[in-house]
Chains A and B, each alone.
Chain A
Amino acid sequence: MLTSFSLSSLEMPSHLQSLREEVRDFLQTQLAAGSYAREPSGWDRYDAAFSRKVAERGWIGMTWPRRYGGHERTSLERYVVTEELLAAGAPVRAHWLADRQFGPLLLAVGSEAQKRDYLPKIAAGECYVCVGMSEPDSGSDLASIRTRADPVKDGWRINGRKVWTSYAHKAHIMNLFARTAVFDPKDRHTGVTQFIVPLDSSGISIRPIINLAGDHDFNEVVFDDVFVPVGNVIGAVGQGWQQVSGELAHERAGSERWLNAYGVLVHLLQNVGTAPERHSAQTIGRLVSHLWTLHRMSFSLAGLLNQGITPQVEAALVKDLGNQFDQDIPEGARAVLQEEDRAGLASNDRFNAMLDRALLYAPSYPIRGGTREILRGIIARGLGLR
Chain B
Amino acid sequence: MSQTRDLLVASATRIFSDLCTRATLEAADEGAWPEGLWSALDSTGIAAASRSEPRGGAGAEMTDLCALARAAGYWALPVPLVETWLAEQMLAAAHLPPVTGPVTVGPVMRRDAVQLTRDPAGWTLRGVLHRVPWARHATALVLVADSPEGARTLVLKDMPAVTEGWNLAREPRDSLRFEGCRIPDECVGAAGAGMGRPELYFRGALFRSQQMAGAMERVLELTVAYAKERVQFGRPIGKFQAVQQQIAALASQVAASSAAAEAAAEANSDVLARFEIAAAKARIGEAVATVAEVGHQVHAAMGFTHEHSLHRSTRRLWGWRDEFGTEADWQAWVGAVAASVGGEQLWTYVVASRKPDVGPPLP
Partner of A2, one of B220, B275, B330, B338: B220
CB pair B346–A7 under 8 Å, yes or no, is no
Tell whether B244 is near chain A: CB-to-CB under 8 Å.
yes
Stretch at the interface among B182-190, B194-202, B250-258: B250-258
CB pair A285–B251 under 8 Å, yes or no, is no
Tell whether A185 is near chain B: CB-to-CB under 8 Å.
no
Tell whether A280 is near chain B: CB-to-CB under 8 Å.
yes
Q: Nearest chain B CB to A355's CB is how many angstroms away?
A: 13
**A274-299 Cβ-contact flags toward B at 8 Å (1 or 0):** 11101011111110111111111100
Tell whether B283 is near chain A: CB-to-CB under 8 Å.
yes
Stretch at the interface among B47-55, B259-267, B309-317: B259-267
CB pair A379–B340 under 8 Å, yes or no, is no
With A297-B255, A376-B249, A380-B244 known as contacts, the answer to whether A290 contacts B283 (CB < 8 A) is: yes
Partner of B260, one of A6, A274, A296: A296
List of A residues within 8 angstroms of B342 by Cβ:
269-270, 274
CA distance A377 to B334 in the complex (A): 33
CB pair A5–B258 under 8 Å, yes or no, is yes
CB pair B350–A284 under 8 Å, yes or no, is no
CA distance A385 to B221 in the complex (A): 12
Q: Which residue of A lies closest to B341 (CB)?
A: A269
CA distance A355 to B276 in the complex (A): 28
- In the complex, how many residues of chain A place their beta carbon closer than 8 angstroms to a beta carbon of chain B? 58
Tell whether B23 is near chain A: CB-to-CB under 8 Å.
no
CA distance A29 to B320 in the complex (A): 48
Stretch at the interface among A57-65, A167-175, A313-321: A313-321
With A2-B217, A281-B339, A317-B251 known as contacts, the answer to whether A385 contacts B332 (CB < 8 A) is: no
CB pair B335–A3 under 8 Å, yes or no, is no
CA distance A386 to B276 in the complex (A): 36
Interface residues of A in 76-130 (CB under 8 A from B): 83, 87-88
Tell whether A197 is near chain B: CB-to-CB under 8 Å.
no
CA distance A268 to B338 in the complex (A): 11
Interface residues of A in 183-239 (CB under 8 A from B): none
List of A residues within 8 angstroms of B258 by Cβ:
2-3, 5-6
Q: Nearest chain A CB to B59's CB is how many angstroms away?
A: 19
Interface residues of B in 273-293 (CB under 8 A from A): 275-276, 278-280, 282-283, 286
List of A residues within 8 angstroms of B280 by Cβ:
289, 293
CB pair A300–B338 under 8 Å, yes or no, is no
Partner of B338, one of A24, A83, A269: A269
CB pair A285–B334 under 8 Å, yes or no, is yes
CB pair B279–A317 under 8 Å, yes or no, is no
CB pair B283–A293 under 8 Å, yes or no, is yes
CB pair B252–A320 under 8 Å, yes or no, is yes
Tell whether B336 is near chain A: CB-to-CB under 8 Å.
yes
- In the complex, how many residues of chain B place their beta carbon closer than 8 angstroms to a beta carbon of chain A? 58
Tell whether A8 is near chain B: CB-to-CB under 8 Å.
yes
List of A residues within 8 angstroms of B248 by Cβ:
317, 320, 375-377, 379-380, 383
Tell whether A265 is near chain B: CB-to-CB under 8 Å.
yes
List of B residues within 8 angstroms of A286 by Cβ:
282, 286, 327, 331, 334-335
Q: Nearest chain B CB to A76's CB is how many angstroms away?
A: 13
List of B residues within 8 angstroms of A275 by Cβ:
336, 339-340
Tell whether B343 is near chain A: CB-to-CB under 8 Å.
yes
CA distance A377 to B241 in the complex (A): 8
List of B residues within 8 angstroms of A7 by Cβ:
262-263, 266
Q: Nearest chain B CB to A49's CB is how many angstroms away?
A: 24
List of B residues within 8 angstroms of A152 by Cβ:
none
List of B residues within 8 angstroms of A20 by Cβ:
351
CB pair A288–B224 under 8 Å, yes or no, is no
CA distance A20 to B349 in the complex (A): 13
CB pair B228–A384 under 8 Å, yes or no, is yes
CB pair B252–A379 under 8 Å, yes or no, is yes
CB pair B254–A2 under 8 Å, yes or no, is yes
Interface residues of A in 3-40 (CB under 8 A from B): 3, 5-8, 12, 17, 20, 24
CB pair A278–B332 under 8 Å, yes or no, is yes
CA distance A317 to B333 in the complex (A): 27
Q: Nearest chain A CB to B164's CB is how many angstroms away?
A: 33
Tell whether B100 is near chain A: CB-to-CB under 8 Å.
no
Q: Which residue of A lies closest to B249 (CB)?
A: A376
Tell whether A308 is near chain B: CB-to-CB under 8 Å.
no
Tell whether A141 is near chain B: CB-to-CB under 8 Å.
no
List of A residues within 8 angstroms of B238 by Cβ:
380, 385-386
CB pair B343–A289 under 8 Å, yes or no, is no
Tell whether B113 is near chain A: CB-to-CB under 8 Å.
no
CB pair A384–B328 under 8 Å, yes or no, is no
With A274-B340, A386-B239 known as contacts, the answer to whether A282 contacts B244 (CB < 8 A) is: no
With A285-B333, A289-B283, A379-B252 known as contacts, the answer to whether A385 contacts B239 (CB < 8 A) is: yes
Tell whether B121 is near chain A: CB-to-CB under 8 Å.
no
List of A residues within 8 angstroms of B327 by Cβ:
286
List of B residues within 8 angstroms of A265 by Cβ:
343, 346
CB pair B332–A282 under 8 Å, yes or no, is yes
**B219-251 Cβ-contact flags toward A at 8 Å (1 or 0):** 010001001100000000011010111011101
Partner of A289, one of B245, B251, B279: B279
Partner of A284, one of B262, B275, B339, B347: B339
CB pair A383–B251 under 8 Å, yes or no, is yes
8 contacts between A and B (CB under 8 A): A2-B254, A6-B258, A265-B346, A275-B340, A281-B336, A289-B331, A297-B259, A379-B251
Q: Closest 8 A-B residue pairs measured CB to CB?
A: A285-B335, A281-B335, A285-B334, A376-B248, A269-B343, A380-B244, A285-B331, A266-B343
Binding site for A on B (CB under 8 A): 1, 63, 217, 220, 224, 227-228, 238-239, 241, 243-245, 247-249, 251-252, 254-256, 258-260, 262-263, 266, 275-276, 278-280, 282-283, 286, 327-328, 330-344, 346-348, 350-351, 353
If A286-B331, A288-B350 are given as contacts, then 11 extra A-B residue pairs at C-beta distance below 8 Å, sorted by A number, are A83-B351, A265-B346, A270-B344, A284-B339, A285-B330, A285-B332, A377-B244, A380-B238, A380-B244, A385-B238, A386-B244
